[in-house]
Structure 1
C-alpha cells in the first residue's frame, strides 16, 4: 500500500540498510520457525475444521508465496512477460496471476507472457482473468 504524506509533515528519511537487515531477519525467522509453524497450523486446521481447513490454510500460504514471487520476480517479469506500458509486476499485495490477467485484458502480454497464461489456462480455465484483484491500490511505479 502506498501511504500518502500527511500535509505539512516532511517525509522521514530511512536508512537504506534497514530493508536489507529486516530481510535477513525475516529469512532467519522463516528457516528457524517456519516448519514448526506450518506443521502446527496444519494440525490446528485439521482438528478444528477438518480437511476443508487444511485446504483453506494451504490456499492462504499459496497466495502469500505468489505475492512474494510477484515482488521478487518483478524486474524479470516486467521485462519478459509484458510489453512496454503494460501493468507492472511488483505490488506486494497482488498475485502474479492477477497481474497476468490485467495485462491479458489490456493486450499487453508478450509471446512469453501469453505462453505462461496459456499453461495456467490449461490447468485452470480462465485462471488469470478469474484471479484479477480489482481492489489492489496500484503503486506509483505501476501507473
Structure 2
C-alpha cells in the first residue's frame, strides 16, 4: 500500500493548554524512558554493529539534541548570532550548525555568530557549511 507523505506544518494553531500539557508529558517521558532507551541502544548497537554502531547511534542523538536546541534557543540565537536580515533559527527539522552555515553564506552572522562558527571550524573544517540541510521545509 502506498501512503502519501504529509507536508511539514510548523505553525499550526494550538491552544496554550494543549501545548503545555504535551510539553509536560514529553518531559515526563524523556526523564523516565531516555536512560533505559540509551542503555539498550548502546548495547544493541555494540552487539549488532560493533563500535561503529555506537558512533552512529551517538551521532543520531547529537543531531536530535542539536535540533532541539535550534527550537528552544531560537529567540536568543536570532538576537545574538545573526543580523535581522539573516536566516532564522527555530525550524524543528534543522540543526544549529545548518543555520549557522546558511547565515555564513548570506554574510549575516554577528560577532558572536562568527565566533561560534570559528569554534565549529576548529572541531571540524567547514563544519557549518557541510551541515547545511537544503531539504528542510522553510517556515511560512
> Is the structural similarity TM-score above 0.5?
yes
Count of residues in correspondence between the two structures: 133
Mapping of residues 77-88 of structure 1, within 5 Å = 77-88=77-88
Mapping of residues 23-102 of structure 1, within 5 Å = 23-102=23-102
Mapping of residues 103-118 of structure 1, within 5 Å = 103-118=103-118
Instruction: Deviation per CA, 1:55-76: give whole Å up to 9, x if none.
Output: 1100000000000000000000
1-side partners of 2:10 and 2:90: how far apart? 16
- Specify the alignment match of 2:139 in structure 1: 139
TM-score (norm 1): 0.89
TM-score (norm 2): 0.91
Displacement after TM superposition at 1:2 (Å): 2.3
1-side partners of 2:106 and 2:28: how far apart? 40
In structure 1, stretches of 5+ residues that fail to align are: 5-10
2-side partners of 1:101 and 1:46: how far apart? 33
- Specify the alignment match of 1:2 in structure 2: 9
Conservation of the 8 A alpha-carbon contact between 2:10 and 2:139? no
In structure 2, stretches of 5+ residues that fail to align are: 1-7
